[in-house]
Amino acid sequence: MSSYSRKPGMVPPPPGEESQTVILPPGWQSYLSPQGRRYYVNTTTNETTWERPSSSPGIPASPGSHRSSLPPTVNGYHASGTPAHPPETAHMSVRKSTGDSQVRGPSRSFLFCALQINCVTFPHPDTMPEQQLLKPTEWSYCDYFWADKKDPQGNGTVAGFELLLQKQLKGKQMQKEMSEFIRERIKIEEDYAKNLAKLSQNSLASQEEGSLGEAWAQVKKSLADEAEVHLKFSAKLHSEVEKPLMNFRENFKKDMKKCDHHIADLRKQLASRYASVEKARKALTERQRDLEMKTQQLEIKLSNKTEEDIKKARRKSTQAGDDLMRCVDLYNQAQSKWFEEMVTTTLELERLEVERVEMIRQHLCQYTQLRHETDMFNQSTVEPVDQLLRKVDPAKDRELWVREHKTGSIRPVDMEI
């Protein structure tokens, strides 16, 4: 969809009229009411009138013009679908969380009706404009969590931001459980090392002799060396994996609660402003109904009193219209602030999630690296055993044993008579 490109003061003619440009004084814009009647808005003073303002400087508007009660605005548009602000200003601006640059929503080049869901104003689905995503090349949090979602546990709803917070807290819980898993792994390593050290001191087969005896002694020594390797492995697991996982963002839950409360407060303010709009809208309806009734009475019977009542009713209707416009303006300000904080905070949550995943990935890589080192050190403890086993020589062992324990080499002979 193309955006507005007309200059201020250049107003398109209504459907069916001659195609010509109407030049308005600076600060004035022209729109159509729901009934098709053209009215004018001073964007500086918010004054509205049915009469076209004079384009000649110093000349007031046509006699009989008055500030009128017009349809309320929602999200920068009148309820009828006509924009409440000049096209050049009908956009939202939001600061990024990572800088001072502006993220701007697209200007609308068409009219659409709005609807409110849980006090938030959305375009009507039947006439919904094509909205460009804030981060169109990514599945960003800031683009997909504006509406509320039905709670599967009950009949209530869960705010989109609440879902993001739940994911963050779940991520923190997963991180904690990973740390507990590594702690269990450390305990297994420590118990294994203790059992290896204890077994290495066992006296079984300690009387084996010769080259085989040496190889056997090396087997037992290798157990003690392996126990030391596993103790070092468990210590590194604690300092380089478990502890960082456990201590990463210790105050994360507290920070998330602050964030939740801040967004919730802005949502409450928005709900309060919405209630004020509804109240003002109801008051305007009543004033307009009163004005219409008095106007009908004037048609039936003309009297000074009736004319005075009409003027009074018109003033009240105009005041009610002004009150409604003020309430809508305050509502739009509250919604813009909520929108701004939502974008800023969801982008921050997105950054935190990326940071958490990357941190866990790095420490799990450290875990596998320590495992490889442990396997390598364990291999080095059995290499001396392999070397001695290759040197085992039963014949040599027999020679050494015979030399040490021989009792005599003279063999017996036959007895002679």
Long-range contacts of 54-58 (CB under 8 A, 24+ apart): 54/25, 55/23, 55/24, 55/25, 57/25
Q: Which of residues 111 and 172 earns the better pLDDT score?
A: 172
Which residue is listed with tokens 């009469």?
Answer: 51
Confidence of residue 78 (pLDDT cuts 50, 70, 90): very low
Q: Which of residues 102 and 359 earns the better pLDDT score?
A: 359
On the CB side of 382, how many CA atoms lie within 13 Å of its CA?
5
Q: Is the dihedral angle over the CA atoms 337, 339, 344, 348 positive or is it negative?
A: positive
Q: What is the mean pLDDT of residues 135-163?
A: 88
- What pLDDT, in 10s, does the model give residues 84-93? 433 333 333 3
Strand partners, 306: none
Angstrom distances, CA of residue 64 to CA of 50, 67, 316:
9, 10, 17
At residue 223, the pLDDT reads 95
Task: With a cut of 60, say whether residue 20 has pLDDT above it.
Answer: no
The count of residues in the chain is 417
From the list 38, 47, 32, 40, the residue with the least C-alpha distance to 9 is 40
Angstrom distances, CA of residue 121 to CA of 50, 78, 281:
28, 12, 16
Confidence of residue 26 (pLDDT cuts 50, 70, 90): confident
Long-range contacts of 159-166 (CB under 8 A, 24+ apart): 159/267, 161/260, 161/263, 161/342, 161/345, 161/346, 162/260, 164/346, 164/349, 165/256, 165/259, 165/260, 165/349
Q: Which of residues 125 and 332 earns the better pLDDT score?
A: 332
% residues pLDDT > 90 (the chain): 53
Task: With a cut of 80, say whether residue 311 has pLDDT above it.
Answer: yes
Task: With a cut of 60, say whether residue 4 has pLDDT above it.
Answer: no
Task: With a cut of 80, say whether residue 148 has pLDDT above it.
Answer: yes
pTM above 0.85, yes or no: no
At residue 31, the pLDDT reads 66
Distance CA 363, CA 238 (A): 11
* List of residues 6+ apart from 271 with CB closer than 8 A: 118, 119
At residue 60, the pLDDT reads 41
Q: What is the mean pLDDT of residues 167-179?
A: 93
User: Which 8-state DSSP code applies to residue 129?
Assistant: -
Task: With a cut of 50, say whether residue 283 has pLDDT above it.
Answer: yes
Distance CA 39, CA 69 (A): 11
- What pLDDT, in 10s, does the model give residues 187-226? 999 999 999 999 999 999 999 999 999 999 999 999 999 9
Q: What is the dihedral of CA 312, 316, 317, 320, to 10 degrees?
A: 180
Confidence of residue 163 (pLDDT cuts 50, 70, 90): very high
Task: With a cut of 70, say whether residue 317 has pLDDT above it.
Answer: yes
- What pLDDT, in 10s, does the model give residues 259-268? 889 999 999 9
Angstrom distances, CA of residue 217 to CA of 25, 210, 278, 377:
105, 11, 91, 19
Task: With a cut of 50, say whether residue 185 has pLDDT above it.
Answer: yes
Look at the domain 165-398 and name its fold: Substrate Binding Domain Of Dnak; Chain:A; Domain 2 (1.20.1270)
- What pLDDT, in 10s, does the model give residues 327-372? 999 999 999 999 999 999 999 999 999 999 999 999 999 999 999 9
Confidence of residue 321 (pLDDT cuts 50, 70, 90): very high
Q: Which of residues 198 and 64 earns the better pLDDT score?
A: 198
Distance CA 119, CA 335 (A): 9
- For residue 388, what are its two tokens? 């001695």
Domain boundaries, the chain: 165-398
At residue 180, the pLDDT reads 95
Task: With a cut of 70, say whether residue 64 has pLDDT above it.
Answer: no
Task: With a cut of 70, say whether residue 5 has pLDDT above it.
Answer: no
Q: Which of residues 251 and 236 earns the better pLDDT score?
A: 236
- Are 145 and 160 spatial neighbours (Cβ–Cβ below 8 Å)? yes
> For the stretch 58-96, what's the b/e string if a residue is b when 16 or more beta carbons lie within 10 angstroms of its beta carbon?
eeebeeebebbbbbbbbbbbbbbbbbbbbbeebbbebee
CA-angle at 370, arms to 368 and 374, nearest 5°: 115
Distance CA 389, CA 263 (A): 72
From the list 102, 164, 144, 168, the residue with the least C-alpha distance to 336 is 102
% residues pLDDT > 70 (the chain): 76
At residue 157, the pLDDT reads 87
Q: What is the mean pLDDT of the chain?
A: 79
Least confident range of 12-16, 21-25, 188-192, 282-286? 12-16
At residue 16, the pLDDT reads 38
Angstrom distances, CA of residue 333 to CA of 122, 277, 340:
15, 13, 10
DSSP three-state, residue 115: strand
At residue 302, the pLDDT reads 57
Task: With a cut of 50, say whether residue 74 has pLDDT above it.
Answer: no
Least confident range of 51-65, 106-120, 164-178? 51-65
